[in-house]
Amino acid sequence: MQDSTSFDVRFHRASANWPGNALLFQGAGQVLIEPDFVTLHGVSHRSFRFPKRERHRLRMVDILNVRVEGPDVLFHVSDLERRREIGFSTPDRASARAIAALLPERWTDEFKLAYTERETFHDRMDYWSPSTPAIWTLLAANILIFLAMWLELQGILKPPPRLPFKPFPGWGAHDAVLAHAQLMAQGLGRLPGMLAEPKQWWTQIAALGGWGKAVNPAVLKLQLLEWGSNMPLLTLGASQHWRLLTSMFLHGNLLHLLFNMFTLWQVGQLCERVFGSARFIGLYLLAGLCGSLASLVWNLLTHHAGGNSVGASGAIFGIIGGLLAFIGRTNSGVPPTVVQDLRGAIAPFLLFNIAAGFVYPHTDNAAHIGGLVGGYLAGHLLARSLHVPAQPTPRRPREGGDPC
């Protein structure tokens, strides 16, 4: 009887954090390795069907491009026509290495070049920017400001209101800051009572989301104005130019905040590691200001001097533009394979969101396009080279993928 070795594994749908597989397996499974075959046992999940336990037997001669990425094992199968990559997770890195050691050590020249370039890119980013403190700071700032505004809103809506809510002189005046603080304190005082009444949560969800009868839209608009939204009548008419900056950190409702923060987290981590934290902050602010200026000019040209613009999307489009500028530079240190990957991922996102902006009436496409163009120009100014010096200071090895 031929020797065989069995391993417990877990299959996943393809995503940014998990390896996919062409067999559409999901969940716990098993890999049986024999001298001439590899048998995969798992549960397949297909649309409009019940999950089905299946077994697939692969010839060892058809397996190539085996590599280990942390606890994950990935390889290609030459006889599969669709989604040729197979991947699964093991309990630990040692198990992944043990499986890979039993599989063929055969790499195609094309894949070896692409894999080596991707690893070089990650090594260079790890050398220059091993962490991303700026992106977490920006996320925290946007979220905390939104929560502060929500607390203030609870103070405004407190029956009976202890303070009349009326236009304040602006953040530059001491009495305005004090009034905002008092309203937030009132809102904070309401929290224990809200927690004791579960029915109140639907009202609060509506207030966070910015819909329903719980909050008058005029009150929400006035609150955004008091916190620094970008309205031409005030930004230019009242010479409150600081609104170009403050409007970048305000959001109209919870969905607006969540979408922008998710996109910022997805794109910002890579962008910060490419530019470095200080340059990334500069890129974010410059792009956001360009987006605010573009929104301001567009509102004036279309005779919407009362337009009220808020959101981080202009800055987010700007860091994407900055990333496009960075990877397009000849001395960037970004390998050609990675440049192709990033352009292929960025282009559909930009096309979809800009096109959607022309369809959805409440989208500030001027801020998006202005931020994108401003970020692209700023990206050229702030770009650096990722090439590692000839004699770098020794650094701790990166926990990344390994060829086998």
Q: Which of 129, 313, 332, 387 is catalytic?
A: 313
Residue 162's pLDDT band, with cuts at 50, 70 and 90, is: very low
The reply to whether 174 belongs to the active site is no
Q: Is the dihedral of CA 134, 140, 141, 142 positive or negative?
A: positive
* Residue in 76, 180, 251, 368 annotated catalytic: 368
| Domain contains 393 | no
Same domain, 293 and 157: yes
Compare 401 and 193 and report the one with higher pLDDT.
Answer: 193
Confidence of residue 318 (pLDDT cuts 50, 70, 90): very high
Where residue 190 falls among pLDDT bands split at 50, 70, 90? Answer: confident
* Cβ atoms of 223 and 250 closer than 8 Å: no
At a CB cut-off of 8 Å and minimum separation 6, what does 206 contact?
Answer: 212, 213, 214, 215
What pLDDT is attached to residue 290? 98
Which range has highest mean pLDDT (32-46, 171-185, 211-225)?
32-46
Pair (79, 145) in one structural domain: no
Q: Is 368 a catalytic residue?
A: yes
29-43, 46-60, 150-164: which is most confident: 29-43
Is the same domain home to 362 and 225?
A: yes
Q: What is the CATH number of the domain that holds 243?
A: 1.20.1540.10
Structure tokens belonging to residue 335: 């390998």
Q: Is the peptide bond prior to 160 cis by the omega test (within 30 degrees of 0)?
A: yes
The structural domain count of the chain equals 2
Structural domain includes residue 399: no
Helical H runs in 302-364? 313-327, 336-359
State the CB neighbour count (10 A cutoff) for residue 217. Answer: 10
pTM: predicted TM-score of the whole model, two decimal places: 0.82
User: In a 10 Å sphere around its CB, with 0-12 CB exposed, 13-18 middle and 19+ buried, how is residue 362 labelled?
Assistant: exposed
Select from 73, 107, 141 the last residue of a domain: 107
Q: How confident is the model at residue 165 (pLDDT cuts 50, 70, 90)?
A: very low
* Lookup result for tokens 């939204």: 229
Other C-beta atoms closer than 10 Å to the C-beta of 365 total: 20
Alpha carbon separation from 106 to 66, 83, 94, 120 (Å, rounded): 7, 19, 21, 20
Task: Answer whether residue 216 shows pLDDT above 50.
Answer: yes
**What's the pLDDT tens digit per position in 121-131?**
999 999 999 99
Torsion, Cα of 277, 280, 285, 289 (10° steps): 180
In terms of domains, do 91 and 227 share one? no
Range of the domain at 142: 133-382
